[in-house]
Amino acid sequence: MIFNYLTGTYRVVSNYPGTTVEVSSGAAKDNAFPFTILDTPGVNNLIPNSEDEKVTRDILLSETDYRVINVLDAKNLRRGLLIALQLIEMGLPVILILNMMDEAKSRGIEINLKAIKEVFGLPVVAAVATRKKGLEHLFPALKDCPKSTFSFQYSEAIEGGIASLLPLLPPAPISGRSLALMLLAGDETLRPWLEERLKTPEMEQIEAICSQYRKAYPESLSYRINIERLEKIDQLLLRIQSGERVSVQGWGRRLGEWSTHRFIGFVWMLLALFLSYEFIGVLGADLAVGFMEETVFGGYINPFLIRLVKAVIPFGIVQELLVGPYGIFTMALTYALALILPIVGFFFLIFGFMEDSGYLPRLAVMSNRIFKIMGLNGKAVLPMILGLGCDTMATMTTRILETRKDKIIVTLLLALGVPCSAQLAVIFGMLSGFSPWIVISWAAIIAGVILLVGFLAGKLIPGESASFILELPPLRWPQMKNILIKTLSRIEWYLQEAVPLFILGTLVLFVLDKSGAMASLELWARPLVVSWLGLPAESTSSFIIGFLRRDYGAAGFFAMAQKGLLTPNQVLVALVTITLFVPCIANFFVIIKERGWKMALIISGVVIFIALLMGGVVDWGLKTFSITL
C-alpha cells in the first residue's frame, strides 16, 4: 500500500505472506525526489527462513546507498521491532512507519512515538495506510534520513564471536557486526555471497570460529540471538507501549475464529467452494463465455474477419492459416479471449477476494491434515488453490514453501493433477451434457491420484518436510478497488503469457495438419490411444495439442463430444487422461526456471506415465465391470 502511495503505481498487495515473491520497483512520484523505490517481500526475520526472506536480505546486501522504509504493524510492535533492530544493527538509515495505528488504538494499545524517536534516534511516522493517513509525512522524512544512534550489547559469548569474526569479513553495504551475527546464526544462504569475496583460508577460519561458538549453544545460536534481541525489545516496550490491552471481540475476530473451527470451518469451506463454483462456473463459464463466444466472436468478429481475410488475401493457404479450422483468429484467439479469458478473470477475482480477506491462510489450517498425508503441510494449499487458476503462476509461488522436498512435491502435483481454470472450464462445458456420475467419478479419480502420488512422493523423495508454522492475519473486508486492480494485473499477465502460446500452438497444429504429419503421428500413437485408452484415433491430435496448453487438449475433446464422437465412457477416460496429462509448455518452462532441467524432465516423464496408466486403468475398469455411464 505504502509503495503504491509513494510511486503512484499499483502493485499486488495482499493479506498473506508470499504475495510479493518478486521485487517490485518504481520511481518515486515526488519530482524533487530522484529515488527508485523497491518493494521487497514482507519478512519476520532477516536471518532467512524462507525464500522471500532471503530475497529481502539479498537486496539489502547488494544495493548501495539506499534508505530503508521499515513498515511496522502498530498492534504487533514487538515483532516489528525485531526487524527494526536488525536493520539498525546493519547500520542503515531507516525510517519507521507505524502502520495500522487505528487498529492498535481500538485494541487499547497506546504507543509513545516520542519514546521510539528517542530510543532509536530515527524518524517515526504514524500512519493508517489504507486511508492514506499520515503518509504525507513520509516524503519529508525521507529527505533527511539519519542513521540510528542506538546499539545494544549481546551476552559476552556472542559479543566475543562478533569480535573474532569482524577482522575477517569483506566490506559490505551493511555493517560487519550484522554480517557476523548472521554467520554466527548459521545462515547458510550467506555462503555464496561470501565465497565471491573471500579466499578459501579465510572462509575456513570463519567456519572454524562459527562452529566453535555454535557448539557452546546446544539449542542453536540463532535462537539464542533472537531471544536476546526480543528480551531487549521487551525492555524497550515498557517505555514505548502502554495501555491495557483490550481484546476486541469484533465481528472480524469472531468470523476469524469460526473460519478455522473444526465444524463451522468446514461448513464455511464448502460454502466458499460452492459460491466460487457458482461465480466462476455459472457467471464465468456459462454466461460470460456464452456471450463472448457465441455473440461477440461467433456473431460479429469471426464472420467479419472471415469475410475480410477472404476479400483481401487471395492465397488459400494463408486464408486457412488465419481463419481456417486451425486458424489463428478462428481457433487461437477465439479460445484465448472468448473461452478462457472470462473464466480466468472470474477466478482471479475470487482468488483476490480470498487473498485480501485473509481467508487463504485459514484454508491452510483446515487442510493441514490432508496435506500431512502427502508429506506436506497446510502451506501447500496456497499454490494448490492458485493452480486451479493457473498452474504456471502457481508453480512460481512454490517459493513460499520452505524445503526443497515440499517444493518438488507441490510442483509435481500441480503439473500432474490440478486442472487450471481454463481446462476446468472446458471440462465442465463438456460434461454439461452427460450424467453427473461422470463428473463425480472424474473428480474422485483425480483427487485419489493426487493423494496417492503425493503420498508416494512424500515417502520416496529424500529430505526434510517443513514444520507447519503459519501466521493467520486478521480477517478483513477487502477493498474492492484493490481486488479489481489486482485481477486486472493478473489478467494482463495471463494474456501476455497465454496468447502467444495459443498462437504458437495453433501454428504447430496447422503445420502438422497441412504437412500430413498429424496423420502419421496419429498412426504411430494409434495403438496407444485406441487399444490402451479405447478412444477414437482422432483424439490423438488433442493429446498432441495438450502439450501446448492443457485446455487446448480438453477443448479438442470438447469439440469431439459435441459432434457425438465419444461415448460417455470414452468421455471419462479422455478427461481423466487429459487432466493428468503433461503440464502445458508455459508451466514446463517455469518448472525449468524454478527447479532446473533435470527435475523438469523427470516430472514431465512421471506425469505422462501416470496419465496414460490411469487412463488405461479407467478404460479397463469400465470394460471389465461393464459399467456404462
Partner 1 sequence: MTSNPDRLNGTPEQHQGHRWYGGREVRTREESIDELLELIWILREKGVTDLNSLLQNTTDPEARAVLNQMMGQGLFEMEGDILKFKEKGESLAEGIVRRHRLTERLLMELFEMSEEEAEEEACKLEHVLSPAVTDSVCSFLGHPPVCPHGKPIPQGPCCKKLTGEMKPLIRPLNDLALGQEGRVVFISTRVKDRLEPLSSFGVIPGIIIQLKQRRPSYVIQIGETSIALDESIGREIFVKAV
CB atoms within 10 A of CB 530: 15
Name the residue type at position 337. Answer: L
For residue 269, the minimal CB distance to partner 1 (Å) is 10
Task: Pick between residue 73 and residue 286 the one whose CB is nearest to partner 1.
Answer: 73
365 interacts with partner 1 by CB under 8 A? yes
Residue of 10, 27, 28, 78 interacting with partner 1 (CB under 8 A): 78
472 interacts with partner 1 by CB under 8 A? yes
Residue of 467, 496, 626, 628 interacting with partner 1 (CB under 8 A): 467
3-state secondary structure of 1: coil
Query: 242: which strand partners?
Result: 110
Dihedral of the alpha carbons of 73, 79, 85, 86, in degrees to the nearest 10: -110
For residue 399, the minimal CB distance to partner 1 (Å) is 16
Are the CB atoms for 610 and 580 separated by under 8 Å?
A: yes
87 interacts with partner 1 by CB under 8 A? no
- Quick note: the x/- pattern for partner 1 over 236-255, rule CB under 8 A, is ---------x----------
What ranges make up the beta strands (E) of 295-348? none
For residue 1, the minimal CB distance to partner 1 (Å) is 19
Half-sphere exposure of 530 (CA within 13 A, CB side): 9
Are the CB atoms for 181 and 144 separated by under 8 Å?
A: no
Task: Pick between residue 287 and residue 447 the one whose CB is nearest to partner 1.
Answer: 447
Name the residue type at position 524. Answer: W
Between strands 24-27 and 36-39, the pairing is antiparallel
C-alpha 322/C-alpha 273 separation (Å) is 40
C-alpha 99/C-alpha 133 separation (Å) is 9
For residue 462, the minimal CB distance to partner 1 (Å) is 16
Grid cell 531471544 — which residue? 227
Q: How many residues bind partner 1 (CB under 8 A)?
A: 47
369 interacts with partner 1 by CB under 8 A? yes
For residue 227, the minimal CB distance to partner 1 (Å) is 5
Task: Pick between residue 381 and residue 457 the one whose CB is nearest to partner 1.
Answer: 381
DSSP 137: G
Contact region with partner 1 (CB under 8 A), list: 227-235, 272-280, 477-485, 568-576: 227-235
For residue 357, the minimal CB distance to partner 1 (Å) is 15
Q: How far apart are the first and last CA of the chain?
A: 52
94 interacts with partner 1 by CB under 8 A? no
Residue of 68, 82, 533, 566 interacting with partner 1 (CB under 8 A): 82
220 interacts with partner 1 by CB under 8 A? yes
For residue 468, the minimal CB distance to partner 1 (Å) is 4
Residues 377-436 that bind partner 1 (CB under 8 A): 377-378, 402
570 burial (CB, 10 Å; 0-12 / 13-18 / 19+) is buried
Phi, psi of 477, rounded to the nearest 5 degrees: -80, 120
Contact region with partner 1 (CB under 8 A), list: 192-200, 224-232, 303-311, 344-352: 224-232
C-alpha 117/C-alpha 122 separation (Å) is 5
260 interacts with partner 1 by CB under 8 A? yes
How many residues are given for the chain? 629
Are the CB atoms for 416 and 451 separated by under 8 Å?
A: no
Task: Pick between residue 73 and residue 497 the one whose CB is nearest to partner 1.
Answer: 73
Are the CB atoms for 303 and 390 separated by under 8 Å?
A: no
Contact region with partner 1 (CB under 8 A), list: 54-62, 220-228, 516-524, 594-602: 220-228
- Quick note: the x/- pattern for partner 1 over 14-53, rule CB under 8 A, is ------------------------------xx-x-x----
Q: Provide the sign of the torsion angle of the four alpha carbons 176, 179, 183, 189, taken in this order.
A: negative
Can you give the binding site for partner 1, defined by CB under 8 A? 44-45, 47, 49, 73, 75-76, 78-79, 82, 103, 107, 219-220, 222-223, 226-227, 230-231, 234, 245, 256-257, 260-262, 265, 361, 364-369, 377-378, 402, 464, 466-472, 474
